Structure 1
Amino acid sequence: MNALKLIGIVIGLSLLSCTETTSKHQVSTEKVTEIKNDIQRVEPPHWWVGFKNKTLQLLVHHPEIGNASPQINYTGVSITAVHKAESPNYLFLDLELAENTLPGQFNIRFQFEDQPDLVQTYTLKARPQSAEDYVGFKSSDAIYLITPDRFANANPQNDTVEGLLEQGVDRSNNYARHGGDLQGITEHLDYIEDLGFTAVWPCPVLTNDMPSGSYHGYAMTDFYQVDPRFGTLADYKALAENLKGRHMKLIMDQVANHCGLQHWWMKDLPFKDWVNYQENYEKHKSDWDWKSTITSNHRRTTNQDPYASKIDYKEMTEGWFVSDMPDLNQRNPFMATYIIQNSLWWVETLGLGGIRQDTYPYPDKTFMSQWAGAIMTEYPNFSIVGEEWSYNPLLIGYWQEGHHNTDGYQSYLSSTMDFAMQKNIIEALNEDESWDQGLIKMYEGLANDFAYTAPKSIMAFLDNHDKSRVYTELNGDLEKTKMALSYLLTMPRIPQIYYGTEILMDDFDNPGDHGLIRTDFPGGWQGDQVNAFTGEGLSGAQKEMQLFLKQILNYRKTSMALQEGETLHFAPENGIYVLARSVANETVVHIINKNESPQDLELSRFEELGLQGKTLTNIITHDNIVWDKTLQLKAKSSVILSYKVAETL
């Protein structure tokens, strides 16, 4: 079933709710002479003409709006259905936008029997670029992941915003707001680009008006508003435009599974099934006993398990991720449409280069197929990566588009996250190398690529905002950290690196603690004694790692071998692992020597690489070596060698 049909099912199901149908063909045009904003909330707040899907559903929230009869007089726009909710303060309007509908403004007039009309001016915009020009991230990219609150505070004036539940900043508290903002990212794009990154993924920056601990951004209380402590929509657009001007991409972190407990609709839920376990919540919310009545588990394998019980699947899909994050019910057709339209709205608004979808296996998986299918139908060159926190390649592969699943499931998801290789790399480098058992984990982990539809489209990483820093996991070993990062950047994947990894940020004081993992980036705050942006105050090891990553990333920018090349690797022997990537005119060889002593590597075993007698260049030191009989390797080291055929005129 294609994505357009799936979207049609979502809209069609909504007709089963309380529906009053109005005339489908309204062709007279009401001229807008004055902008009216009588309604508290209309979402999406505006839309665009020119989508393949010509339907639009507006959520309207206003006291007693359910008693109104809406009218639109604008050529090409017709109301096909009006849906009343169980709360009298909502209406859902199904609109159809004809093929020839022009951008412009029109009034939605809400007529009442016993009170004056309310009028809301709505805007249809022209799309800023063609659908094909929304190009997503791919294996040619390297992604820089940032926790915005902890990166750079460019505008201290927005640290405290009147009216929000959590006030002030406290940099001594790892779970309080620290003041980083969108402008702080934009002002340091020179640094990020100079390192060699081609895409930026900030953790969510939408409003999280929660009493505490919401600096991370994953407890959204408004899906259409930028959190004012991070800045404004204009600041978000400025970041997107600055990246675009550098031919870099902005990836938006989105959440379809849950919202924050203080989301505006939790005070007035439109339907009895807007969130999962809603009856339990509403019955007990006054005394907080509802927390004990909302059963949940994290058995994500119930999505694939042919033997999974219905109760296990229900508790995983419908249970709340945590007690402060209500689980959204995507089986409600209005909620489903709301989430899909919200994602499309942000793609258009920011000109996104991709979406990262949080907690991917937790929402209703049929809906997630509809969601991803709707996006990819509108943007055929786009990219979406889903977070599947699993160390099992079978589960990672299940979610990727084109995978032949025995249950027939099609995800339309271009990428998934490679937690399996993250674990393999860390364990391989930490284990004793007797009988090559350490490096074999990396080798066999990559050998599992036979299970993936498109290995190069999977996103690989060593640390992120939820996992302990790689430098911590490798016990503060600089050379092993280099091995891990150089392998990450040469293997066939889309690499993602967490901010601060380039300067060996750690969480030694409490490994795995989320607040500590998301430590402030030095130099991002006025008065910081260490400034990683300029190098001031960094240790020798930090500067060494920063330069090491910069050299590999910038080489990777122009290396077709590392971006798209065929992969060939050789089973580790005597603590040495060799991996090669090659295209017609370029071969890159990555070699890890895990031994505590220098080694002479016999090269006859690698004859099939076709490098005999060729001169290769070390991309870090720029030294040249001839690939002959043996290669001298330093103790505990990794080396990346490049051979390129000289271009002829």
Structure 2
Amino acid sequence: MKLIRNIFLVAILVALQSCNTSESSKNVSEVSISNTFLERVEPPNWFVDFKNTSLQLLVKEESIGNATPTISYAGVTIKKVNKAKSKNYLFIDLDIDKNTKPGKFDIVFKFENGSKKTHTYELKSRVKAAEDFIGFNNSDAIYLITPDRFANADASNDINKNLHETTIDRSHGYKRHGGDIQGITNHLDYIENLGFTSVWPTPVLENNMYNGSYHGYAITDYYKVDPRFGNLSDYKKLADELRKRGMKLIMDQVANHCGLEHWWMKDLPFEDWVNNQKNYEENIENWNNKTNINSNHRRTTNQDSYASESDRKGNNEGWFVSTMPDLNQRNPYLAKYIIQNSIWWIETLGLGGIRQDTYPYPDKDFMSDWAGAIMYEYPNFSIVGEEWSYNPLLVGYWQKGAKNKDGYESNLKSTMDFPMQKAIIEGINEEESWDKGLVKLYEGLANDFYYASPKDIMVFLDNHDKSRLFTEVQEDVVKAKMALSYMLMLPRIPQIYYGTEILMNDTAKPGDHGLIRTDFPGGFKDDAINAFTKEGLSEEQKSMQNFVKAILNYRKNSDAIKQGKTLHFAPYKGTYFLFRIYNDEVVVHIINKNKSSISLDLNRFKEVGLEGKKFKNLITGESFIWNDVIELSEKGSTILTTKL
């Protein structure tokens, strides 16, 4: 029987091979590709019931430019088929009617020679209503994490032989250490108990570069999680676990540039997909040694009415570095690609916000369109843009509602408060004088008159690019507590970098990114110290950890801090008083830089109307009656609250 069956199968194969009619060839071709997926169709799926009913598919497949696509699915219409310069791309404009049902359908590509290829595409239901995507706000406290350095939950994904970089070396600041998405998920109890309400990991999408891309900002596939961090299921699980706790996931995105090893760099669809593309293509063989990337990093050219055109182009079109091609958002297909990618991730993960990297570098009109498109679909969402400037005028320019002289409207809800970060660090460190010390904090907060919405600005003291707080204050625990507690009292959205709560530092080489992004103790196998359990921490580290926990957990339920009136008094005798007031809740933050005990007359603050009110010290629990005098016995910060 076995012999007969084999003879029968051979006969069938011979019959198929010998069939030479055009109809038979056509049938064989259709059978062979009926379940075949193309090299790339992006977005890989979409969703029904958006306000904007248009969708543009990027299709990548050998010679696909010679094909004509057809779709037969109720509610889905091909409006236009756009060819690229490369014959290996098509851009298909679809309209998805508001009444379209979720489901799968085939896109059939018919080639000039009569052959066909088929790709099955899916439209999914949206997980929740658009208005239910609630973004981060000033009631939140954000924990910023560099995933590679936080916790390694799955050692099996540390090395992937299919990617360029295949080493793990925890002793090297610029190599991969093995942290992953599951490592964050495993320690959400720790993050939540500290009082954080949102988590912002630096990018976890594929960075298939040869070295130094553990940070995630050289993306080589905008729709794929880097397998060394996990997979899409792991990413979704992190988002789901945060939601279960009433917490939010903020995604770090990069619209300005990609990684040099991005898949499209081997076959760019248009001649202007990236900026300075001709220069790159003419020197591609020696590009790693090339320094002329036409970049000047002059971000003020976005606002400067006197700026030369060459300087503007140097900022907006120059490559960030030679390994990060600068994307040309003026190309309408790339612009659409980036916008759809952001919306896809919001919908796929149920995001609670986006942090957009290097905000002033891309084309600013595109950035307005990008933020506008997202906020149009998700009116309660939040986006924060990185403007690394210490000038409040520049930071304020990018916030929605700013009264800009050039009429520019960014549609961007939040910007990052680099000016306040600098003011706090300098003010805490400096000796007191009429123009130094605490007056820097006071004047820094006074700049709020300029901002369209100060409470929607994200404030921080350190991050993945700047020296650690503990290093910045010369490893002085008291100074670190003064700076951090003041920041957490401000009408702002606070962000704290992982490890700041245990006094992590980069003192050995301030500013070195490898040290700034040091491994979190306890996140890796055989760590001698475990900050998650406090095992091995010094008393100072435990004290700081408890300090952060006390303030953040109070802040969660404080209407005064989240939405109260802000009132402050000019620094006096080495002290600075800040009040947050909402109905019967009053929070008083006091910074005292005097090394010895000092008594202060409280009549100076009479306008606040606190006479006879009972306060509790948020950290020590001690009671205090607001009468004539307050005695500050030592240098540091004091937080008083009427909420007993």
TM interval, shorter chain, is over 0.9
Q: CA deviation at 1:516?
A: 0.7
Q: Could you tell me which amino acid in structure 2 is paired with residue 113 of structure 1? A: E
Deviation track 1:206-228 (CA, whole Å, cap 9, x = no partner) reads: 00000000000000000000000
TM-score by length of 1: 0.93
Q: CA deviation at 1:49?
A: 0.4
Change (3 A) 1:35 1:535: farther
Q: Is the 8 A contact 2:384 2:414 kept in 1?
A: yes
Q: Is the 8 A contact 1:284 1:290 kept in 2?
A: no
Deviation track 1:222-245 (CA, whole Å, cap 9, x = no partner) reads: 000000000010000000000000
In 2: Cα distance, 1:359 partner to 1:564 partner: 29
Q: Could you tell me which amino acid in structure 1 is paired with residue 85 of structure 2? A: E
Deviation track 1:427-461 (CA, whole Å, cap 9, x = no partner) reads: 01111113472000000000000000100100000
Q: Is the 8 A contact 1:35 1:121 kept in 2?
A: no
Which residue is equivalent to 1:268?
A: 267
Q: Could you tell me which amino acid in structure 2 is paired with residue 190 of structure 1? A: D
Deviation track 1:378-405 (CA, whole Å, cap 9, x = no partner) reads: 0000000000000000001000001111
Q: Runs (4+) of structure 1 moved beyond 2 Å?
A: 34-38, 287-294, 434-437
Q: Could you tell me which amino acid in structure 1 is paired with residue 132 of structure 2? A: D
Which residue is equivalent to 1:20?
A: none
Q: Is the 8 A contact 1:283 1:290 kept in 2?
A: no
How do residues 331-370 of structure 1 correspond to structure 2 at under 5 angstroms? 331-370=330-369
Q: CA deviation at 1:282?
A: 0.1
Are 1:198 and 2:197 an aligned pair? yes
Change (3 A) 1:268 1:290: farther
Q: Could you tell me which amino acid in structure 1 is paired with residue 69 of structure 2? A: P
How do residues 102-181 of structure 1 correspond to structure 2 at under 5 angstroms? 102-114=101-113, 116-181=115-180
Q: Could you tell me which amino acid in structure 2 is paired with residue 62 of structure 1? A: E
Deviation track 1:480-522 (CA, whole Å, cap 9, x = no partner) reads: 0000000010011000000000000000110000111000000
Which residue is equivalent to 2:93?
A: 94
Q: Is the 8 A contact 1:280 1:290 kept in 2?
A: no
Q: CA deviation at 1:303?
A: 0.3
* 3-state SS, counterpart of residue 205 of structure 2: coil
In 1: Cα distance, 2:76 partner to 2:287 partner: 45
Q: Which moved more, 1:435-444 or 1:117-126?
A: 435-444
In 2: Cα distance, 1:113 partner to 1:432 partner: 78
Which residue is equivalent to 1:283?
A: 282
Q: Could you tell me which amino acid in structure 2 is paired with residue 597 of structure 1? A: S
> Once superposed, what is the RMSD of the aligned Cα atoms?
1.2
Q: Is the 8 A contact 1:614 1:643 kept in 2?
A: yes
Are 1:304 and 2:321 an aligned pair? no
In 2: Cα distance, 1:36 partner to 1:633 partner: 76
Which residue is equivalent to 1:615?
A: 614
* 3-state SS, counterpart of residue 96 of structure 1: strand
In 2: Cα distance, 1:236 partner to 1:300 partner: 33
Q: CA deviation at 1:622?
A: 1.0
Which residue is equivalent to 2:475?
A: 476
* 3-state SS, counterpart of residue 70 of structure 2: strand
Which residue is equivalent to 1:395?
A: 394
Which residue is equivalent to 1:458?
A: 457
In 2: Cα distance, 1:575 partner to 1:193 partner: 35
Q: Is the 8 A contact 1:504 1:542 kept in 2?
A: yes
In 2: Cα distance, 1:270 partner to 1:192 partner: 43
Which residue is equivalent to 2:243?
A: 244
In 1: Cα distance, 2:282 partner to 2:101 partner: 47
In 2: Cα distance, 1:527 partner to 1:159 partner: 16
Q: CA deviation at 1:289?
A: 7.5
In 2: Cα distance, 1:527 partner to 1:395 partner: 46
Deviation track 1:343-392 (CA, whole Å, cap 9, x = no partner) reads: 00000000000000000000000000000000000000000000000000
Which residue is equivalent to 1:630?
A: 629
- The structure number with the bigger radius of gyration is 2
In 2: Cα distance, 1:592 partner to 1:487 partner: 8
Deviation track 1:183-213 (CA, whole Å, cap 9, x = no partner) reads: 0000000000000000000000000000000
Q: Could you tell me which amino acid in structure 2 is paired with residue 159 of structure 1? A: D
Q: CA deviation at 1:595?
A: 1.0
In 2: Cα distance, 1:436 partner to 1:303 partner: 31
Q: CA deviation at 1:600?
A: 1.1
In 1: Cα distance, 2:339 partner to 2:487 partner: 33
In 2: Cα distance, 1:52 partner to 1:634 partner: 60
In 2: Cα distance, 1:250 partner to 1:634 partner: 42
Q: Is the 8 A contact 2:195 2:549 kept in 1?
A: yes
In 1: Cα distance, 2:395 partner to 2:277 partner: 31
Q: CA deviation at 1:267?
A: 0.2
Q: CA deviation at 1:115?
A: 5.2
In 2: Cα distance, 1:612 partner to 1:289 partner: 68
Q: Could you tell me which amino acid in structure 1 is paired with residue 222 of structure 2? A: F
In 2: Cα distance, 1:594 partner to 1:436 partner: 15
Q: Is the 8 A contact 1:436 1:572 kept in 2?
A: no
Which residue is equivalent to 2:601?
A: 602
* 3-state SS, counterpart of residue 482 of structure 2: helix
Which residue is equivalent to 1:231?
A: 230
How do residues 527-566 of structure 1 correspond to structure 2 at under 5 angstroms? 527-566=526-565
Deviation track 1:317-349 (CA, whole Å, cap 9, x = no partner) reads: 000001100000000000000000000000000
Which residue is equivalent to 1:567?
A: 566
Q: CA deviation at 1:636?
A: 1.3
Q: Is the 8 A contact 2:288 2:323 kept in 1?
A: no
Q: Is the 8 A contact 2:330 2:366 kept in 1?
A: yes
* 3-state SS, counterpart of residue 85 of structure 2: coil
Are 1:449 and 2:448 an aligned pair? yes
Which residue is equivalent to 1:428?
A: 427
Q: Could you tell me which amino acid in structure 1 is paired with residue 361 of structure 2? A: Y
* 3-state SS, counterpart of residue 285 of structure 2: coil
* 3-state SS, counterpart of residue 95 of structure 1: strand
In 2: Cα distance, 1:570 partner to 1:60 partner: 61
Which residue is equivalent to 1:254?
A: 253
Q: Is the 8 A contact 2:293 2:321 kept in 1?
A: no
In 1: Cα distance, 2:563 partner to 2:551 partner: 16
* 3-state SS, counterpart of residue 224 of structure 1: strand
In 2: Cα distance, 1:531 partner to 1:112 partner: 61
Q: Is the 8 A contact 1:280 1:293 kept in 2?
A: no
Q: How many residue pairs get matched?
A: 613
In 1: Cα distance, 2:255 partner to 2:604 partner: 50
* 3-state SS, counterpart of residue 223 of structure 1: strand
In 2: Cα distance, 1:479 partner to 1:181 partner: 33
In 2: Cα distance, 1:418 partner to 1:202 partner: 19
In 2: Cα distance, 1:443 partner to 1:378 partner: 39
In 1: Cα distance, 2:105 partner to 2:204 partner: 31
In 2: Cα distance, 1:290 partner to 1:338 partner: 30
Q: Is the 8 A contact 2:164 2:209 kept in 1?
A: yes
Q: Which moved more, 1:280-289 or 1:102-111?
A: 280-289
Which residue is equivalent to 1:499?
A: 498
Q: Is the 8 A contact 2:287 2:322 kept in 1?
A: no
How do residues 64-75 of structure 1 correspond to structure 2 at under 5 angstroms? 64-75=63-74
Structure 2: runs of 5 or more not aligned: 1-30
In 2: Cα distance, 1:292 partner to 1:148 partner: 30
Q: Could you tell me which amino acid in structure 1 is paired with residue 59 of structure 2? A: V
* 3-state SS, counterpart of residue 505 of structure 1: coil
In 2: Cα distance, 1:285 partner to 1:557 partner: 53
In 1: Cα distance, 2:130 partner to 2:405 partner: 33
Which residue is equivalent to 2:7?
A: none
Deviation track 1:406-431 (CA, whole Å, cap 9, x = no partner) reads: 10100000000000000000101111
Which residue is equivalent to 2:26?
A: none
Q: Is the 8 A contact 1:492 1:567 kept in 2?
A: yes
Q: Is the 8 A contact 1:435 1:574 kept in 2?
A: no
Change (3 A) 1:137 1:113: same
Q: Could you tell me which amino acid in structure 2 is paired with residue 350 of structure 1? A: L
Q: Could you tell me which amino acid in structure 2 is paired with residue 297 of structure 1? A: N
